[in-house]
Structure 1
Amino acid sequence: MSRATLAKHPDEVTRMFDEAADHYDRTNTLLSGGQDRRWRARARAALALQPGETCLDVACGTGVSTEELARSGATVIGVDRSPGMVARGAARSLDLRVGDALQLPFEAAAFDAVTIMFGLRNVVDPGAALREMARVTRPGGRLVVCEFSHPTWEPFRTVYLRYLMGGLPRIANRVSSNPDAYTYLSDTIRAWHDQPSLAALLQEAGWQRVGWRNLTGGIVALHRATAPAHGPGPHSADRHEGPRMEPAV
């Protein structure tokens, strides 16, 4: 895989996550200073799940995000391309399945809501994944993308980039079962879309009412959107409506 780009091979990414599965959750918590728990909780709140609804958690990893979403009382299914990650989450009382974000093993309009947390940038074709998520979401259903983004304050962004290039790999080398995976993750974070360009990608995939909210100064952004009334595609009624930025938190 190319460094500092989004070029990737799906099987290589899957193998990398299989090898990182053993200490993956602990490493993420250490590297984020415990903020990962807060980010997942904010994603659950943004999705506004209700008891009786169905939700799909794409790129669920070991099921930590699926478990957080299930606190809402909704029925949540997690799907991930890495068998190692899914196996690691087997101890949790969750419905976790192996599956590809580009070919989700579900019927059209099967879910009231769909989310992907920190996984979209690892998909070989993010636009196709967003269209596939729209396919399995009922008309008017919700999407939340919780993903690393770009800090909005220049001095903070400079410090953050130094951490990504230096501090994060050093910490991962001590605590991760696959330190090389975190060098890759650091590269993809730096190369990933900023908030407006990800919003544009969502609109191009057919999602409507797109907006975002920054978390932790823009280290992470929550993008929210609504499935089109007549199925995914480029001809949605309000496709040309600009994305709406919500207050930063």
Structure 2
Amino acid sequence: MIISEKLFSRLDAEDLKKDDEQLLLFKIIKAYSFNYSNKHLLYKLLTGYNSNSILKIGLEVQPLTKRHNEGNTNLDLAMGNIQQRINTTSGIELGNSNDSFLFCEAKWSSDISYGVKYCTIRNQLQRVIETALTFPNSSDFNGQIFVTLLTPELHKINFLDKINSRFYGYKYDEYLNNPTSTFLKEIRSNEISTKLPFKDNKYDKIVENNLKKLCLNWVTIEELIKNIPDKNLSNEIKNLYEEFSK
């Protein structure tokens, strides 16, 4: 698992507590990380696809930013064809193959952030998607690019009932159904392109080309907890999660 040793030690020693989505995600992912088959089960739950490749997992990791005036994106979870960047504790880059990869944005009680120091129309989901599309550094990448939103079941049910109880529901709907006229339009807007310009003009075309390989998914925290192979651990996390979600 790619994660800073200090962070791993802290999270591993702590008990789950209310609204700590970082700790909750760590407990869930760790429960799937014991062997090859469990990792592949987790990947299928998050993407909807089977993988025959060796899957690496990264928690609280940072792919490099491709824009000026913007720091690296802090990803809750990355999985699949990734590897640790040399001389970093939590930096990641694409692995040495054309296999697919997953970036995941997890929320418990919070919503996605929007607006940054230099740009008022930048939002967290938009940024994660863009980072995923530029992660291969090329339009020649042949794998699929998965971006998964992980939230409580309640908010997905509301979304399916056309009731968006979170901002991420609105943006997920826009990016899922018409990414060209929403996502591309946003990142090519004058405000973003002027205040947060790409470090190289090639990235605009890479985003456009790799958009065809993007698979957006929405998975619930409850689904992941329910499918933890160790049922004693699954029930333990489930009971704590339900108690802290009241």
With normalisation by structure 2, the TM-score equals 0.36
With normalisation by structure 1, the TM-score equals 0.36
